[in-house]
Structure formats: C-alpha cells, structure tokens
Amino acid sequence: MAKNITNNKTKSKKSKKVVPTGNVYVFSGYNNTIVTVTDLDGNTICWGTSGGNSFKGSRKSTPYAASIVGQNTAKIAVEKGVREVTAFIKGVGSGKSQCVKAIRNGGLIINKIVDVTPIAHNGCRQKKRRRI
C-alpha cells in the first residue's frame, strides 16, 4: 500500500526591496544595444536588449531599436520602484543618445550621464578599416 504523504510546509515569499535610486548601464555596440538597471550595490533589477525586443539582424543596431529598448527597460524599472538613476554609457554604436532620451521619456529621472567608453592611448594595433 502506498502511504499518503502530506507536506504542511509553507514557503514565505521574499519581500521585494524597493530601490528609489540606481544606475543604468547602456552598452551600444556595432551589432546590438544592451541596457541594464542596477541598484547602487550593482545588483541587477532589470535589463533589456534590442535582440530581445524582436529586432533581428542589422535592425538591432539602429537608433530606433535602441530607443525601444530604453523605453521598455525604463518602464519595467519604474514598476519595480526605481525613480532616479545615473547613466553610464559605453560603446561606439549609433544608439547611445537615442537610448538615453528614451530612458528619460520612460519615466526615470537621470541625475548624471557618464561616458565610460574605453579609449586606448596607443595600445594594441587596431583592426584594418573596412572598405566598402
């Protein structure tokens, strides 16, 4: 005979931490745009990419795709309680400024914009320039 096992343990839900201030990291490369919203300790609250927002191929790298990513990520962050952010921008893609504008229009207040794109001071030899 099979024994009936009853499980009377109840799991308590983890309380959500509301973080009013945070950081937004925007990486805009040649092929994609990635936006990450974190708290001040660096723990990720939400993120989004242009590839994850149904843009495929060469359309991922457009400024329009970057604006859609910024707007959607900002809306999710506002729903989770983030109000003010500091924006850190990195990369050489064409969607950096459009993404920051979309984050502002999505409901987040941007305190400061910092460009953290790494710039080589005569380091390694660059790749040869593409000729079309």
Question: Is 127 among the domain residues?
Answer: no
Chain-centre distance for alpha carbon 101: 14
We report the CATH number of the domain holding residue 80 as 3.30.420.80
Q: From 65, 71, 74, select the one nearest 30 (Cα to Cα).
A: 65
Residue 79 CA to residue 18 CA, distance in Å, equals 10
Question: Is 66 among the domain residues?
Answer: yes
Domain span at residue 91?
25-114
Per-residue pLDDT at 113 exceeds 90: yes
Q: Count of domains in the chain?
A: 1
Question: Is 7 among the domain residues?
Answer: no
- Residues 27 and 46 sit within 8 Å (Cβ to Cβ): no
Question: Is 5 among the domain residues?
Answer: no
Question: Is 40 among the domain residues?
Answer: yes
Question: Is 61 among the domain residues?
Answer: yes
* DSSP assignment of 91-109: ES-TTHHHHHHHHHHTT-E
Question: Is 64 among the domain residues?
Answer: yes
> pLDDT digit string (tens) for 16-71?
777 899 999 999 999 999 999 999 999 999 999 999 988 999 999 999 999 999 99
Report the predicted TM-score, pTM, of the whole model to 2 decimal places: 0.80
